[in-house]
């Protein structure tokens, strides 16, 4: 931790005492969860560095950009089109928070029975402990779920907030509404930055964001191998970091990691034995540093091989066409791509069920863990249908409802152990 960083955090209005406590809590957990893993790819060293310096160099870059007259746009959901932000020479940064540390701070204002992701994110602003939110000029919220929607109203008392209306259905009228929202967002970003979004810049930004999607798709494809060449914890960390790292640098680092991991596959090397039970996690997003469930699963003898979530496949699954054209045409393509994100905020949302079944086959999954943040009603209710469809497919399912605290870690471990035991027995009988 350098004096320069402390000076910067102080200048950003960070509560230094709380911030020290956060970093002092985070880094030992990282060491225990991550650095203790055996046979990690060398390419993870970059991501270790990023976490070790989580509020350092990247914040300095954003601050430098702001001092040069640029804008930083903070987002909380994968529905916000980063292409538009980048095309206006602004920098998008994902703000969702995954730590219990900021939850009690948020509970001074928000109701306790709100999902941990919402409370953690809001607590970061209220407690002045996140330099990313402090650096940002605009927070872009959305109407995906009621808790977030109402939290954004309160957040607006502390920071400029703009809300995009995400429809709840997938009808033509909903598509039209969303296209209108994407067009309006372009104008908001143009006003914020003073830069017009022109066709060439939008095409370049689209290619760049697609490059990151392609790199993450490539990484996830390596996880289809048996034995799996990278742990679930490491793969998820790569996705989490990609929400706030520089996009071009992230593409380069992820592709470098993929070169190495693909080499492992060619050599038949893995991080776990070939007969390790393979798990798909499906459900609510896991924002950094929410590594609890992955850690429990992988230290109990499972391999997490895929995440059907917004910190997983929903983040990068579909590309925006790169055939250019007018700004309007490109914005239409962008809007259509984002409407393919099968968030539980939609009704009906059968495409997500199809995705889960397809992913269980592609990743040769032995069981699914449905992960639900407590008080997240959309995913909790959709889990009923997920359970039905998996029962029909004969795929074992464990439904977990939890928060960011460690209080239930022992109980979760017991349930995970029993689930893995059941999977192992089934595979013997097969
Ligand atoms: S789960 Fe829904 S609301 Fe949450 S980040 Fe994903 S798309 Fe957005
Ligand atoms: S996890 Fe659920 S309740 Fe929490 S922000 Fe996402 S959709 Fe809303």
Q: What is the pLDDT of residue 2?
A: 67
Q: Which atom of ligand 1 is nearest to the CA of 314?
A: 6
Find the ligand nearest to 148 CA.
Answer: 2
Q: How many Cβ atoms are within 10 Å of 48's Cβ, its own excluded? A: 16
Q: What share of the chain is helix, strand, coil (3-state, %, to 5)?
A: 55, 10, 35
Chunked in runs of 10, what are the mean pLDDT values of the chain (430 residues)? Answer: 86 97 94 96 98 96 98 97 98 93 97 97 96 97 96 97 98 98 98 98 98 98 98 98 97 98 98 98 96 98 98 98 96 98 98 98 98 97 98 98 97 98 84
**Ligand 2 close to Cβ of residue 117 (< 6 A):** yes
- Per the listing, tokens 């872009």 go with 140
Q: Which atom of ligand 1 is nearest to the CA of 148?
A: 3
Pocket test for ligand 2, best of 117, 343, 349, 403 (most atoms within 8 A of CB): 117
pTM, rounded to two decimals: 0.97
Q: Which residues contact 249 (CB under 8 A, 6 or more apart)?
A: none
**Ligand 1 close to Cβ of residue 285 (< 6 A):** yes
What distance in Å separates the CA atoms of residue 127 and residue 409, rounded to the nearest whole number?
A: 26
Q: Which atom of ligand 1 is nearest to the CA of 96?
A: 5
Tell me the sheet residues that pair with 400: 371
For ligand 1, atom 7, the nearest C-alpha belongs to 343
């Amino acid at each position: 931790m350098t004096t320069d960083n402390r000076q910067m955090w102080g200048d950003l209005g960070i509560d230094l005492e709380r911030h020290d406590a956060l970093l002092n809590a985070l880094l030992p957990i990282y060491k225990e969860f991550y650095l203790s893993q055996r046979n990690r790819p060398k390419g993870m060293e970059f991501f270790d560095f990023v976490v070790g310096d989580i509020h350092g160099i990247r914040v300095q870059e954003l601050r430098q950009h702001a001092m040069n007259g640029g804008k930083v746009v903070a987002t909380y959901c994968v529905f916000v089109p980063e292409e538009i932000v980048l095309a206006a020479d602004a920098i998008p940064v994902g703000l969702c928070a995954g730590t219990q540390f900021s939850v009690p701070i948020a509970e001074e204002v928000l109701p306790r029975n709100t999902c941990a992701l919402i409370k953690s994110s809001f607590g970061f602003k209220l407690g002045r402990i996140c330099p990313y939110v402090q650096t940002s000029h605009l927070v872009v919220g959305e109407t995906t779920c009621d808790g977030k929607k109402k939290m954004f109203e309160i957040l607006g008392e502390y920071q400029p907030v703009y809300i995009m209306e995400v429809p709840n259905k997938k009808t033509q009228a909903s598509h039209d509404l969303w296209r209108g929202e994407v067009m309006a967002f372009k104008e908001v970003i143009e006003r914020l930055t003073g830069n017009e979004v022109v066709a060439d810049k939008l095409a370049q930004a689209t290619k760049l964001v697609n490059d990151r999607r392609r790199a993450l798709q490539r990484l996830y494809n390596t996880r289809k191998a048996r034995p799996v060449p990278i742990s679930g914890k490491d793969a998820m960390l790569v996705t989490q970091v990609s929400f706030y790292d520089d996009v071009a640098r992230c593409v380069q680092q992820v592709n470098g990691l993929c070169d190495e991991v693909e080499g492992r596959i060619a050599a038949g090397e893995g991080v776990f034995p070939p007969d390790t039970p393979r798990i798909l996690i499906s459900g609510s997003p896991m924002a950094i540093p929410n590594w609890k469930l992955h850690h429990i699963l992988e230290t109990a003898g499972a391999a997490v091989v895929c995440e059907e979530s917004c910190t997983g496949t929903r983040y990068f699954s579909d590309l925006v066409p790169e055939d250019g054209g007018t700004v309007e045409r490109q914005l239409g393509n962008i809007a259509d791509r984002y409407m393919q994100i099968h968030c539980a905020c939609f009704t009906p949302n059968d495409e997500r069920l199809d995705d889960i079944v397809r992913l269980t086959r592609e990743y040769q999954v032995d069981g699914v863990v449905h992960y639900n943040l407590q008080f997240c009603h959309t995913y909790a209710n959709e889990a009923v249908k997920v359970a039905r469809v998996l029962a029909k497919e004969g795929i074992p399912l464990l439904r977990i409802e939890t928060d960011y605290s460690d209080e239930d870690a022992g109980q979760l471990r017991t349930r995970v152990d029993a689930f893995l035991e059941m999977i192992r027995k089934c595979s013997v009988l097969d």
